[in-house]
Amino acid sequence: MGTAGAGGTAAGQTAHGPQAELDPPVDFDFQSILGQIEEDIRPQIGRGQIAAYIPALACVEPGFGMAVADLDGKVYGVGDWQRPFSTQSITKVFALALALAQGGDDLWKRVGREPSGNPFNSLVQLEYENGIPRNPFINAGALVVTDRLQTLTGDASSELLEFVRQESGNPDVAFDPEVATSESDNGDRNAALAYFMAAYGNIANSVPALLDHYFWQCSIEMNCADLALATRFLARHGLRADGTRLLPRRLAKQINAVMMTCGTYDAAGEFAYRVGLPGKSGVGGGIVAVVPGVCTVCVWSPGLDPQGNSVAGIAALDRFTTLTGLSVF
């Protein structure tokens, strides 16, 4: 348990420029709240199944970590909050933000914004809907987003890695080659999705190159503090950690909305019901959640429910919004 901080506008000072666009600070004792949550959800830790279909993740030891980052970058943590883990699908949020920031709304011609109602790697809807994925957070949609980012940057995975390093303030954030290789060796379903969309003209780059960037993207390893900090631009209405603008407010709002409706696969309704925040999960056991204008939260515990979401993580976020009242509802 511990805290780490980065300063913002001091109390009593007047903020100017981009900082003035932020909401006034909210006074919560996040450290005490996190300690209470860790105690309350302890029986949930270790429940669920590890994502053994990715061999590199099959041997992850049980644990639990949680971190909160406020708008100014002060971080509060509990449990294994500094233990790195495989971010997996959480990186889809960053890829989407970068693709929209650099390429604009044209992306939405190639991917929808509706919940899928099917597993995250399903092929079923693509044929009915002419190769247009339902949303950017199922695997098919994320492949389209990474394809767009590759066209815009020429090196999608490296662009994404540099972005999360800058936003988290941690230059040691890195790819995990073992996980990337494991993803590639067991990536037939993702390859099928990509080739199927390519047949409909919805993939611009070569499928093998796209898959390579996608697998490296999903292999990025971060801890709860890193992820809470890296996601802060969504709580800051599109402002990056350095105060420059990544996204206009409307696009930050839109990403949060899609996270709310689609960020936890085919359990998004249950997540909204229990947690009431925009969130994005990954099968590495992590979940990030955004309280616009207040903070970001990241929780990790590798045991997953049948939909691929962390059992203890959802329980912890449920307790967080219950104890603080920080829900969008």
Among residues 287, 277, 288, which one has the least CA distance to residue 308? 287
The answer to whether 92 is a known catalytic residue is yes
Q: Is 283 a catalytic residue?
A: yes
Annotated catalytic residue within 265, 275, 280, 297: 265
Among the options 283, 290, 297, 299, which is catalytic? 283
Catalytic residue list contains 265: yes
Catalytic position from the list 74, 86, 92, 116: 92
Catalytic residue among 89, 122, 219, 301: 89
> 3-class secondary structure for the chain?
CEEECCCCCCCCCCCCHHHHHCCCCCCCCHHHHHHHHHHHCHHHCCCCECCCCCHHHCCCCCCCEEEEEECCCCEEEEECCCCCEECHHHHHHHHHHHHHHHHHHHHHHCCCCCCCCCCCCCCHHHHHCCCCCCCCCCHHHHHHHHHHHHHHHCCHHHHHHHHHHHHHCCCCCECCHHHHHHHHHCCHHHHHHHHHHHHCCCCCCCHHHHHHHHHHHHCCEECHHHHHHHCHHHHCCCECCCCCECCCHHHHHHHHHHHHHHCCHHHHHHHHHHCCCCEEECCCCEEEEEECCCEEEEEECCCECCCCCEHHHHHHHHHHHHHHCCCCC
Q: Which of 145, 179, 207, 214 is catalytic?
A: 214
253 is catalytic: no
86 is an active site residue: no
Of the candidates 115, 166, 120, 137, the one whose C-alpha atom is nearest the C-alpha of residue 288 is 137
Q: Which residues are catalytic?
A: 89, 92, 214, 265, 283
